Amino acid sequence: MGKRRCLVRRLLLAALILLLTSALGGCQQGAPQPVQPAQPTEAKLINPLGPLVLPVAGIENGAVKGPVTVKVSYWKSNDEAIGLIAGNQTDFAVLPVTMAANLYANQKDLVMLGVHEWKVFYLLARKGVAFTDWTSLKDRSLYMPVGKGQTVDILSRLGLIKAGLTPDQDIKFVYAPPQEVVSLFQAGKIDYAALPEPYVTLAMKDNAGSIVLDYQEYWGQAAGVEPRVPIAGLFVKKDYAAKNPQAVKDVAQLLTDATNWCNSNPDAAIEQAKTTLPLPAAVMKASLQRTEFKYVPTAECREEVKKYLETIQQIDRNAIKQLPDEGFYGE
């Protein structure tokens, strides 16, 4: 009888151990892991209508591809770009760095991924008009595209101030569409024009004038940095970046590859670009000699951009009302 009880106890103990082992095994497996949301395979990008159509040409014609298919649309004015961003009509945007910094100050919903336009602005003098230095502009008018507070406007004001002149007092600034500035310059109606390529090449056609100052070289000398300006780059909506980190990396890599493709295949890039920027191929090709497109990730150009924005704010606080914090600088 005692042996039987002992056997029963042993069987019960074995069963209990087996039950406990199974329970512990189930605990070790843990609760089901949450399913990670699938990264998007498509994204929307807005891009300015101008020289920056060239770096996205490879995306447009399918020569450059990646895990994310990017649909590119083009904006013609700052107000249009701001409306598209505010209305959640895009995920990514190619924007002037100054414009993006001011948008960030208002909403803090943009993150800079990189800069890819570094050289494009030049000062032209009409044929027969002398230019020695910035003081040559005293009591003259300077025509330029876009408006006050943009890249070439700020760099011009910096040069004038350092030369001892007072902008808007010693020199008149006139803002007009680039095509209009080119027409006036070609007609000999204006002496000085500050333009980006390819409008520089168009303005100099038929020996109407010449380049008298490279704004990138001037900025390098004035700021003690490389002779290049962080003009425009790639930005992403902050909420999109938080939800789709891999897609952000993929799109940044896509623009990197497309920029490199543009530099290696200028004729093909120009052929594609003429569908959105209808200029003669010869003009576009000549303009590339004075243009620098190179995608530099934020991690590698953060300090350059900071110095640039700080300098702009020192010249004109209305141009950069608030310097962006670290949240502006993505990786």
The last residue of a domain, from among 223, 248, 283 = 223
Q: What residues of the chain score a pLDDT lower than 50?
A: 1, 3-4, 6-8, 11-31
Cβ pair 126, 212 in contact under 8 A: no
Examine the domain organization and report whether 248 and 201 are in the same domain: no
Contacts for 87 with CB less than 8 Å, ≥ 6 apart = none
The verdict on residue 12 lying in a domain is no
pLDDT of residue 190: 97
User: What sign for the dihedral angle of Cα 125, 131, 133, 136?
Assistant: negative
* Residues paired with 114 in a beta bridge: 234, 297
For residue 10, give the amino acid letter: R
Give me the pLDDT at residue 38, please.
72
pTM, full prediction:
0.85
Residue 225: name the closest of 156, 177, 155, 160 by CA. 155
3-state secondary structure of 121: strand
Q: What is the pLDDT of residue 14?
A: 47
Q: Is 238 in the same domain as 199?
A: no
pLDDT tens track for 246-305: 999 999 999 999 999 999 999 999 999 998 988 899 999 999 999 999 999 999 999 999
**CATH number of the structural domain spanning residue 61:** 3.40.190.10
Decide: 302 and 111 in contact? Cβ < 8 Å: no
**193 with 143: CB under 8 angstroms?**
yes
How far apart (Å, rounded) are the C-alpha atoms in residues 35 and 164? 63
Same structural domain for residues 253 and 125? no
Q: 222 with 77: CB under 8 angstroms?
A: no
Structure tokens at 25: 């095994």
In terms of domains, do 140 and 85 share one?
no
Domain that holds residue 50: 42-119+231-328
